[in-house]
Chain A
Amino acid sequence: DAMVIQNPRYQVTQFGKPVTLSCSQTLNHNVMYWYQQKSSQAPKLLFHYYDKDFNNEADTPDNFQSRRPNTSFCFLDIRSPGLGDAAMYLCATSRDQGPEQYFGPGTRLTVT
């Protein structure tokens, strides 16, 4: 059974049109992460939630926001997607600081 679920798996949005990606987990992990991975590049951490505490990476653009309404769910909001935001977005979870992070299958975002 899937432990970290991401919906949708593929998302197409228009330039400038807000989009929300969702992640849910059945592991009851207290930490949830959002990564951006572009083709042939490393996954890049955007932010993470430690319980309800939101932690933004210093170089994450303001265009990216996140919400975590409860332990199981976390959302990534892109307020005004640009062409450069086309990427795979990976959600991951861990219990406290790890060591292992469990990844969802990702949402591939296309911006037209």
Chain B
Amino acid sequence: DAGVIQSPRHEVTEMGQEVTLRCKPISGHNSLFWYRQTMMRGLELLIYFNNNVPIDDSGMPEDRFSAKMPNASFSTLKIQPSEPRDSAVYFCASSLVGTGGQPQHFGDGTRLSIL
């Protein structure tokens, strides 16, 4: 079975540009999570969706970040405008709903570098 698929794997862009990260969850999973990994903060949750509905976006750093889940098989995380401090690895994960007791399955991540 295909796991969580993220694209692109790597993105290098100049500050001020719009960045869009994409995620396809595992088929049948109805919870989706976006995380950011940094040296300082470790793995921090940005936002998560249950059944395509955003449940908690308290981890989204600021208005420059937005996330959507238009259907059960696709989600995007957008940064506009991007800044050098946004450089990090961004992970998407999915699980069955009832996420508190279900393991999360992670994609391979997108390594983002903002110059």
Q: Do A and B bind each other?
A: no
